Amino acid sequence: MPPTSLSRGRRSRALTPLTPDTRPRLATGVAFEPTADDAVWIAVLHGVPSSRVSRAVVALLRAMDGETALRELHGRFAASEPWESFLPLIERFRASGLFEGQTTRPPGRLSYRPPFTVQIATLRAPALFRRLDRLIVSLSRRTVMVALVVVLVLGALAALLQRHELHDVLIAPMSLSGLVVLVVVLSLITLLHEGAHGLTLTRFGGRPRRAGVMLFYLTPAFFVDVTDGWRLPDRRHRVAVALAGPAVHAVVAALALLAALVLRHPPLRETLLLLALSCAAIVVLNLIPFVRFDGYIALMSALDEPNLRGRTIRDGADFVTRLLFGGPPTRPALTTWWSVPFGLASLLTPVVLVLFAVARIARALAGGGPVLGLLVVALEAAVALVGVALVAGALHRVLRSGVSRVRFVSVGIALVAGVVLAGSVIPMPVAATYGFVVDGDRVLLVRGGGEVDRTVPEGAPVVLLSNGILANGQVGEGTVQPQRAEPTTVPVDALFPVKADGVTISATIVARVDLLGPSAELPPTGQARVEFGTRNLWQTLWTTGVVLPLSGRQDEK
């Protein structure tokens, strides 16, 4: 008697194990709505769809009055099924918040989702999208799909013809005016992306509940709440709602590539190519199924598996808990071979994304002086504190799950000791990032800010790179020859991956570079990576995360 479709995710929490004597009570905020197919109903929690369930399950849930034991409910509604199959169904509904004491209020105008998402929304989205839907010409699904495929194929061909130009703009600094235009255009496209979700849902008969702006994994963005999509009876429609947003970015990328192929105005062409690359990267990121991005929603809809990510995370966490701390085996929340690896990937991917975002921000501010370095350290500290809080919460849940306290403490001490020891013996290369400028026949290392507070190692190897906004390409190499700190002014692109004709910023010359090859092929400015030798992991992290940012330099491995 399985539920027929999807449920909304909830925060994981420590739950008392269910037994045959457990007497669950249906939450007061739960209601049931029939669909066009009378065999399928929607469980609604505080007006928000929570699960797609069968008529038999509706009867089971309505019988949960807080006085009837699960043993009796099993006999009345699922006597033909073994207890081992019945119990996971009940656990699934409890995890979905359908039982008294487990409910959570749906997000409103202001909401926070751990670890790094804050949303500010309007609740008038349904009326807004109904008006927009009336303004858009209705086209057949076949027409839309054919047009989409044609545009994407032409865009792929245009990318192939311009592959060298795409590489060049990837590793080159971007004009300041072009960057401003790119940021504005990408913001508008993101608005269209979210609007496509809402309009597609509206076209299929659903109601976007909320819309607004959010800070998502340290990145500002728009959003539209399409939870009402679970009311759609056709899973293909739910997949279409999820993929409508990435389709917008894919189409824009293709059109930008086609326009760049035709236009020959260099600044405009550069902006179009970077727009195409940015949109393509957003599409790839959105299709990652291990975070609550569009790809995950599409996968969950296609598989018709309720709360896919939350259930697999539970299985992954249970696997790690048993591996490290022992404890009795638990019933899998999802009975597939890939549940544990998918859950572990869902736990790790957000961590990787946050660390990548912090690294990109730190990289963009490298060489900008102690003030910007202080900003980097503050961001790192905030992320570290959130990480510590999440780990502490996970360990608290493990301890409450009934594992042996002796083993918990012993394994905890062993893990801490192992991490400390590994960090003390693992060697890590340390490199600091500066800017460089070519002054006649001299190549000078520069950084933002005032006086240098430490000497650059004499003879240290240095790699000279282009200062691209998305990537860097090697343009030369040499060794460092320190000199007395000397204030100067340099072009913006000597320290940041943007360029502006005639605009200079204050900097300090910290050393010169003895090149190992000719200087004629060097760009006038760029990025320099100076190798500082090898240290253990903890020293590298401290130097990278604190010492060098505050002294105006940024470490890299």
pLDDT averaged over 10-residue windows placed end to end, the chain, 557 residues: 37 62 87 75 78 82 89 86 79 79 67 73 82 81 89 95 92 87 91 92 87 75 83 87 94 96 87 94 93 90 82 87 81 84 93 83 67 80 86 84 84 91 88 86 81 68 87 88 85 86 85 80 87 85 76 46
CA pair distance 460, 426, nearest whole angstrom? 22
The domain that holds 510 is classified in CATH as: 2.40.30
**pLDDT tens sequence across 271-286:** 999 999 999 999 999 9
What DSSP state is assigned to residue 22? -
Based on the fold, state whether residues 92 and 176 are members of the same structural domain.
Answer: no
Which residues span the domain enclosing 231? 110-303
- State the pLDDT at residue 11: 40
Based on the fold, state whether residues 386 and 440 are members of the same structural domain.
Answer: no
**pLDDT tens sequence across 207-217:** 888 888 887 76
- State the pLDDT at residue 114: 65
- Nearest Cα to Cα of residue 505 among 440, 448, 465, 436: 448
Question: What separation in angstroms does the CA of 279 have from each of 249, 261, 316, 520?
Answer: 5, 17, 32, 35
State the Cα angle at 416 between 411 and 420, rounded to 5°.
145
- State the pLDDT at residue 8: 39
Please say which residue of 47, 81, 105 terminates a domain: 105
Q: State the residue for tokens 């975002």.
A: 357
Report cis status (omega within 30 of 0) of the bond before 115: yes
Based on the fold, state whether residues 177 and 291 are members of the same structural domain.
Answer: yes
Based on the fold, state whether residues 188 and 289 are members of the same structural domain.
Answer: yes
Q: Within 10 Å of residue 396's Cβ, how many Cβ atoms?
A: 11
Based on the fold, state whether residues 116 and 261 are members of the same structural domain.
Answer: yes
**pLDDT tens sequence across 300-319:** 888 877 678 888 988 898 88
Residues 447-465: b if buried by 16+ CB within 10 A, e if exposed: bbbeebeeebbeebbbbbb
Based on the fold, state whether residues 459 and 391 are members of the same structural domain.
Answer: no
Based on the fold, state whether residues 157 and 224 are members of the same structural domain.
Answer: yes
- State the pLDDT at residue 4: 34
Based on the fold, state whether residues 539 and 458 are members of the same structural domain.
Answer: yes
- State the pLDDT at residue 107: 67
Domains in the chain: how many in total? 4
State the Cα angle at 92 between 232 and 226, rounded to 5°.
30
